[in-house]
Amino acid sequence: MRIDIITVLPELLHGPVNQSILKRASDKGLAQIHVHNLRDFGIGNYKQIDDKIYGGNAGMVMMIEPIVNCIESLQKERTYDEVIYMTPDGKLFDQPTANRLSLLENIIILCGHYKGIDQRIREHFITMEISIGNYVLTGGELAAAVVSDAMVRLIPGVISDETSALTDSFQDGLLSPPIYTRPAEYRGWKVPDILLSGNFAEIEKWNDHQALERTLKLRPDLLEE
Ligand code: ADE
């Protein structure tokens, strides 16, 4: 998978891209993340990328030209499956969306800033709009890092324990069961006996039951869905 992220703040993405799971996936040759500075496509001597909103409202809008020039320079090189715009107006990001996107080959992610982008970009270039939650961030960079992480960790081979991504919370619409490690008793607080029993069929049943019970208690909305 190749992810091209377009941003006015490339430094904000350096941490996630160079340190996290994204770095590991890149080192293994399983995912490539390329960060593009929109300023390089800015207009004129000042490399302008934003301008005043038409109609008199306060605030700046990201201009159409630099963004289109950047997107089209990428599209000249390869075909993209999705051109995603990170925005609080978008569809709420969830595990099924991460699963679907993780199967794609080439993705562009455009990070918004200021008041947002010229509407014509959304109408003519963007194929998908994603929000990571009902709150407003200063820009789309942190959201792009969240979406990239969630997608890339699902690519087979990125996480060393292949089954672990499949048993994540949400993967089957349920929260994960509680987990424990040694010591089996700490300050009198014991690990449930069943987990020490070695009876894997019973342990699996216990885990399923716990997952359902926790979901009912903590996130009943997931069961309604
Ligand atoms: N940009 C600003 N806020 C955002 C959000 N909640 N999700 C995605 N992109 C954003």
In tens, the pLDDT along 127-158 reads 999 999 999 999 999 999 999 999 999 999 99
Q: Is the pTM of this model over 0.75?
A: yes
Number of domains, the chain: 2
Q: pLDDT tens across 122-135, in order? A: 999 999 999 999 99
Question: So what's the pLDDT on residue 163?
Answer: 63
Domain co-membership, 177 together with 94: no
Calculate mean pLDDT across residues 32-51: 97
pLDDT at 85 over 90: yes
Residue 160 lies in a domain: no
- 19: tokens are 């340190």
Question: So what's the pLDDT on residue 156?
Answer: 92
Domain co-membership, 188 together with 216: yes
Helix or strand or coil: residue 211?
A: helix
What distance in angstroms lies between residue 140's CA and the mean position of ligand 1's atoms? 5
Ligand 1: residues whose CB is within 6 Å? 86-88, 112, 131-133, 135-137, 140, 143
Buried b or exposed e, range 178-213, using 16+ CB within 10 angstroms: eeeeeeeeeeeeebeeebeeeeeeebeebbeebbee
Domain co-membership, 180 together with 116: no
The number of the ligand 1 atom at minimal distance from the alpha carbon of 138 is: 2
Least confident piece of the model among 17-21, 31-35, 106-110, 162-166: 162-166
pLDDT at 70 over 90: yes
Distances (CA, A) of 128 to 26, 39, 92, 110: 24, 23, 11, 10
Q: pLDDT tens across 174-185, in order? A: 999 999 999 999
Residue 162 lies in a domain: no
Domain co-membership, 128 together with 78: yes
The number of the ligand 1 atom at minimal distance from the alpha carbon of 140 is: 1
Least confident piece of the model among 16-30, 60-74, 153-167: 153-167
Domain co-membership, 114 together with 71: yes
Domain co-membership, 66 together with 140: yes
Q: Nearest-5° angle of CA 50, CA 111, CA 41?
A: 50
Domain co-membership, 100 together with 134: yes
pLDDT at 166 over 80: no
Domain co-membership, 40 together with 91: yes
What distance in angstroms lies between residue 117's CA and the mean position of ligand 1's atoms? 13
Question: So what's the pLDDT on residue 162?
Answer: 58
What distance in angstroms lies between residue 110's CA and the mean position of ligand 1's atoms? 11
Around Cβ 14, how many Cβ atoms within 10 Å? 11
Domain co-membership, 141 together with 171: no
Least confident piece of the model among 35-39, 112-116, 138-142: 112-116
* CATH of residue 136: 3.40.1280.10
What distance in angstroms lies between residue 192's CA and the mean position of ligand 1's atoms? 41
Q: Which residue minimizes the CA distance to atom 4 of ligand 1?
A: 88
Domain extent, residue 10, equals 2-152
As a whole number, the mean pLDDT across the chain is 95
Identify which has the larger pLDDT, 197 or 164: 197
Report DSSP state, residue 43.
Answer: B
Residue 157 lies in a domain: no
Question: So what's the pLDDT on residue 88?
Answer: 96
Domain co-membership, 141 together with 38: yes
Calculate mean pLDDT across residues 9-28: 94
What distance in angstroms lies between residue 149's CA and the mean position of ligand 1's atoms? 15
Around Cβ 133, how many Cβ atoms within 10 Å? 11
Cα 156 from Cα 24, distance rounded (Å): 13
* CATH of residue 179: 1.10.1270.20
Question: So what's the pLDDT on residue 118?
Answer: 98
Answer with the one of 126, 152, 178 that is the final residue of a domain: 152
Question: So what's the pLDDT on residue 169?
Answer: 78
